[in-house]
Amino acid sequence: MRKSDKIKLADRTWEALSAAFPDASCSLDSDSPERLAIRGILSAQCTDVRVNITAGELFEKYPSMADIDALPQDELEVLIKPCGLYKSKAKSIKTFAHLYCTKWGGEVPRDVNALMECPGVGKKIANLIVGEIYGIPAVVVDTHCKRVMKRIGITTHDEPLKVEADLVEVFPEDTWISLGHKAVELGRTYCISRAPKCDVCPLNDFCKRAGV
């Protein structure tokens, strides 16, 4: 597909998503940059609802990053076990808290690459942090966004970084932060993985998959 055609498709996609999900927003609680980052680490292969509950319990007991930095990893593992992958997530959270308290001087970096120095903070979470907290344009490509954009025909890739590159090429920068949230809503509501509701999807008049 020519770039001009992809841009037209992106424009139609944005218009339809905005009409269908005008209030789409991040479903992770974001009371502070550092806590959002911890929730982002916990969110891997876990629902946002579960993450918010578990993180709330964690922060009630250990409200600061200094508290978490001092917390023995095995105790942290017990607290976050409901989110799954608790051993690797606990290690990442401990590393994040330590970087926050030492190298970062008590402030979450605004730079995606700096954030990604922490194991467990990939491009998706780094983009989420800089977008949600600092308003820096960035696209969050999760499994829903990747699936939706491939079915629509805006990307042919499965690798998140390649999907992100395709999206930022055709969507205006001022849509990037909201785009991921709206795509997630579409993915959860209509563009379901195994049984998409193409017949009632608000994008079915131009979505590539709906026309199959």
pLDDT at 212: 56
Q: Tell whether 201 is covered by a domain.
A: no
Is the model's pLDDT at 92 over the cut of 80? yes
pLDDT band at 31 (very low <50, low <70, confident <90, very high): confident
Residue 122 has pLDDT above 70, yes or no: yes
Residues 109 and 38 reside in one and the same domain: yes
Is residue 123 a part of any domain in this protein?
yes
- Give dist(CA 52, CA 60) in Å, integer: 12
What's the predicted TM-score (pTM) here?
A: 0.88
Which of 88, 106, 134 corresponds to the end of one domain?
134
89 inside domain: yes
Both 17 and 53 in a single domain?
no
* 52 falls within a domain: yes
For a pLDDT cut of 70, what percent of the chain falls above it?
Answer: 99
Mean pLDDT of 38-67: 95
Based on the fold, state whether residues 9 and 60 are members of the same structural domain: no
Residue 67 has pLDDT above 90, yes or no: yes
More confident residue, 90 or 33: 90
Q: How confident is the model at residue 30 (pLDDT cuts 50, 70, 90)?
A: confident
pLDDT tens-digit readout, 132-172: 999 999 999 999 999 999 999 999 999 999 999 999 999 99
Number of other residues whose CB lies within 10 A of the CB of residue 203? 22
Query: In terms of residue numbers, what domain contains 64?
Result: 33-134
Residues 99 and 146 in one domain: no
Report if residue 194 sits inside a domain: no
Q: Are residues 130 and 145 in the same domain?
A: no
Does residue 18 belong to any structural domain of this protein? yes
Q: Locate 209 and state its tokens.
A: 């998959």
Domain match, 39 and 76 both: yes
Give the model's confidence band at 211: pLDDT under 50 very low, under 70 low, under 90 confident, else very high: low
37 and 121 both lie in a single domain:
yes
User: How many CB atoms sit inside 10 A of residue 143's CB?
Assistant: 13
**211 lies in some domain:** no
Write the burial class of residue 43 (CB in 10 Å: 0-12 exposed, 13-18 middle, 19+ buried). buried
- State how far the Cα of 93 lies from the Cα of 201, in Å rounded to an integer: 38
What per-residue confidence (pLDDT) applies to 116?
94
Q: Does the pLDDT value for residue 47 go beyond 80? A: yes
Residue 147's CATH number: 1.10.1670.10
Mean pLDDT of the chain: 94
Provide the number of structural domains found in the chain: 2
Q: Which residues have a Cβ under 8 Å from the Cβ of 114 and sit 6 or more positions away?
A: 104
